[in-house]
């Protein structure tokens, strides 16, 4: 009988599930999670609430495709919600999360900066949620809003595996290990 006193190696086994959203009140689409809020706040208050969600990349929603817009319309039926688009001092509209403006969905005649006081943007959805459009609005108006965060991988198991000392019988070219 031969006994090995020290482990030869340590192996860390990980089991990672698919990317997930933080809870049942967040909705998955692509690489992101979305959560509509029905608690009226100013644009800045809504943005602060999104950033306080504690998730990486949390901000008011930025919309980058027709498909993403249609997905969001279904969760905004018949409501007006703040999105992360805002007029900046250089005269351009920019997403609050810093992503490029690659898709727009302005209503006819918008943005119009009515009375020079409309710098933030709301998404207005039809009662059925089948279509929506954007409207510029005074940032101090109180609206519902939508947050967007990155989906995260969730570590479900982590356990170190250190091989125990093993006893070998009949050492030779065909030795068999017994735990």
Question: Does 171 have pLDDT greater than 60?
Answer: no
The CA-atom distances, in angstroms, between 102 and each of 6, 63, 95, 164 are 59, 8, 10, 57
- Of residues 18 and 116, more confidence is placed in 116
In the chain, how long is the greatest CA-to-CA distance?
A: 92
- The Cα–Cα gap between 147 and 54 comes to 12
Q: Is the pLDDT of residue 102 over 90?
A: yes
Beta bridge partners of 59: 148
Residue 26 CA from chain centroid, whole number? 9
Q: What is the pLDDT of residues 118-149, one digit of tens each?
A: 999 999 999 998 889 999 999 999 999 999 99
Count CA atoms within 13 Å of residue 57 on its CB side. 14
Backbone angles phi, psi at 116, to 5 degrees: 70, 20
Please state which of the ranges 46-50, 119-123, 129-133, 152-156 shows the lowest mean pLDDT.
152-156
Cβ-count burial 31-70 (b if 16+ within 10 Å, e if not): ebbbbbbeeebbbebbbebbbebebebbbbbbbeeeebbe
Mean pLDDT, the chain, rounded, equals: 82
Instruction: Report residue 139 as tokens.
Output: 């940032």
What domains appear along the chain, each with residue ranges and CATH number?
1-18+162-179 (no CATH), 22-150 (3.10.100.10)
CA–CA dist 149, 126 (Å, integer): 25
Q: Which two tokens stand for residue 100?
A: 């490029």
- At residue 162, the pLDDT reads 45
Closest residue by Cα to residue 95 from 68, 120, 67, 78: 120
Nearest of 137, 57, 70 to residue 98 by alpha carbon: 57
């Amino acid at each position: 009988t031969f006994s090995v006193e020290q482990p030869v190696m340590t192996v860390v086994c990980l089991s990672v599930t698919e990317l997930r959203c933080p809870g049942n009140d967040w909705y998955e689409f692509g690489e992101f999670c979305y959560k509509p809020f029905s608690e009226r706040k100013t644009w800045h208050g809504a943005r602060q609430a999104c950033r306080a969600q504690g998730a990486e990349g949390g901000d008011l929603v930025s919309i980058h495709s027709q498909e993403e817009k249609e997905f969001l319309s279904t969760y905004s039926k018949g409501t007006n919600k703040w999105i992360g688009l805002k007029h900046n001092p250089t005269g351009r509209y920019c997403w609050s999360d810093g992503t490029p403006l690659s898709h727009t969905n302005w209503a006819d005649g918008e943005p119009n900066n009515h009375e020079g006081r409309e710098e933030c943007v709301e998404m207005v959805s039809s009662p059925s949620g089948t279509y929506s459009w954007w409207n510029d609005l005074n940032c101090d108006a109180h609206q519902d809003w939508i947050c967007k965060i990155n989906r995260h991988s969730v570590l479900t198991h982590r356990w170190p595996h250190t091989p125990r000392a093993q006893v070998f019988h009949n050492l030779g070219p065909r030795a068999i290990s017994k735990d």
